[in-house]
Structure 1
Amino acid sequence: MSFEQLKLKNQLCHRLYMASNSIARAYREPLAELNLTYPQYVVMMALWEQDEVTIAELIDKTAIDGGALTQILKKMTDKSLLSVIKDEHDKRKRLVQLTHTGHSLKLEAADIPKRIFCKFDSIDTTQAQQLMQLLDLVVNDLTD
């Protein structure tokens, strides 16, 4: 028996792992210029789309684990990028809203997607869209 099913070269999951690590490395320099980690950048993008959302909505939008998100929000609050406030209508809920500094960072971050995509020498925009659709299927299949 050759155990082909156990070879790394035959593993989709390992390719996704390598791609994820490579992408994280590609983002490191441009995000360092903004003093953001990748998870913080994801939170910022979600808030730039829609500001003043509940923590639950932010968890849904970003797919970041609640415990991890709490730590991320704390660090971002310390950087004066956002604030977490009580919802006026439901005191049990917390709203996340950008500060002036958080809003102004959007302009500085505007070129990051283009800078990252330029690194994909072998993929055109059509292939990138197809890849995103395939990855959405993977995520949907593996999410409860």
Structure 2
Amino acid sequence: MAFPQLKLDNQLCFRLYTAARLVTASYTPYFKEFGITYPQYLVLMLLWEQDNRIISEITERLNLETNTVTPLLQRMEKQGLIVRQKSQADSRQRIISLTGEGKRLEEKMKNVPNCLAQKIVDNGISVDELQKLIPILDKFICAITNVNNR
């Protein structure tokens, strides 16, 4: 190979891509039990943190485009997890709120993150290493966001 920097195993992007896919896939069995997808779980977590959010808040926080989030919210509404209502302050905006079922899922799913973390620990990563990974990833996300915004 003329350019070792082009070798797949030397790419940070490939490691991040692989890790993201594997983490998402690891959650899938849990989500099937509750009839949701990973992106729906992300929306639910935001609404569990703070209910009654406008769509632009959700898209910004999840770093997704409106044309990705809107169909996702429509499916969640059909499933009875959320309701979308016009904002009284601005009729162009929609307020996304949890239904009773959406709120009940929080209690049902409260152990999912710890169950997955324990499986990771059981397979060779220490709790300390997992805890150290979060601020490193946060710093990386901040740096790559700055790169993309230039």
Q: Give the alignment's TM-score, normalised by structure 2.
A: 0.90
Aligned mates of 2:67, 2:127 — CA distance in 1: 35
The within-5 A match list for 1:48-87 is 48-87=48-87
1:95 aligns with 2:95: yes
Name which of structure 1's ranges 109-118 and 131-140 shifts more when overlaid on structure 2. Answer: 131-140
Aligned mates of 1:141, 1:51 — CA distance in 2: 29
Report the Cα offset of residue 140 of structure 1.
1.4
Aligned mates of 1:118, 1:98 — CA distance in 2: 29
Q: Give the alignment's TM-score, normalised by structure 1.
A: 0.94
**Corresponding letter in the other structure for 2:126:** D
Aligned mates of 1:30, 1:109 — CA distance in 2: 8
> For 1:119, what is the secondary structure of its paired residue?
helix
Report the Cα offset of residue 126 of structure 1.
2.5
| Residue equivalent to 2:17 | 17
Q: In structure 1, which of residues 113, 133, 136 is the aligned counterpart of residue 138 of structure 2? A: 136
The within-5 A match list for 1:35-50 is 35-50=35-50
Aligned mates of 1:110, 1:118 — CA distance in 2: 14
**Corresponding letter in the other structure for 1:69:** V
Which of the pair is proportionally richer in helix?
A: 2
**Corresponding letter in the other structure for 1:125:** V
**Corresponding letter in the other structure for 2:38:** Y
| RMSD of Structure 2 on Structure 1 (CA) | 1.3
> For 2:119, what is the secondary structure of its paired residue?
coil
**Corresponding letter in the other structure for 2:60:** D
Deviation digits for residues 52-86 of structure 1 (CA, Å, limit 9, x no counterpart): 01111111222222111001101000101001101
Gaps of 5+ in 1: none
The sequence identity of aligned pairs, in percent, is 35
**Corresponding letter in the other structure for 1:142:** I
Report the Cα offset of residue 137 of structure 1.
1.9
**Corresponding letter in the other structure for 1:48:** W
Report the Cα offset of residue 110 of structure 1.
0.5
Report the Cα offset of residue 15 of structure 1.
0.5
How many residues are paired up?
A: 144
Aligned mates of 2:130, 2:26 — CA distance in 1: 16
